[in-house]
Amino acid sequence: MVIVQKRSNRKPSGARYKGAPTKRLRHKGNSPANPTIGEKRIVASRAKGGREKNRLLSIGVVNVVDAKGKHVQAKIERVAENAANRHFVRRNILTRGAVVVTDKGKVRVTNRPGQEGSLQGVFVE
């Protein structure tokens, strides 16, 4: 079954919209990448307008910006918390807003790794 990101055929009241639209190619979505911890793996996928998205499947390091603005790379050990889904913690899935434990301290992920192909973050006190 195709993943479709379009308006529902039903109104908030439960009634049907008159002349509900059919599926179109522009409504097609993708399954989530669900990037995990491991050796770096990236898959390129075509996006709208011929643009390419680098979908991160797994990564072992994170680029961190400290309070002074200096960039360092830290090795990821595990996911400590994830506001997107509590089950992502035990599966070690990296999403935006996830807090990961690294060899240099706790880091919050600030980008969308499943859509950008890299992992960036800032230290958490």
Q: What is the CATH number of the domain that holds 116?
A: 3.10.290.70
**pLDDT(123) > 90:** yes
Task: Flag whether 66 is in a domain.
Answer: yes
Structure-token pair, residue 15 = 């009634």
Q: Which domain holds residue 78?
A: 33-123
Q: Which residue has the tokens 């680098």?
A: 54
Task: Flag whether 93 is in a domain.
Answer: yes
Task: Flag whether 118 is in a domain.
Answer: yes
By the 8 A CB rule, do 79 and 58 touch?
no
Closest C-alpha among 45, 66, 64, 63 to residue 114: 45
Determine the Cα–Cα distance for residues 98 and 100; give it in Å rounded to an integer: 6
% of the chain with per-residue pLDDT over 70: 100
pLDDT tens-digit profile of 46-68?
Answer: 888 899 989 999 999 999 998 88
| Count: domains in the chain | 1
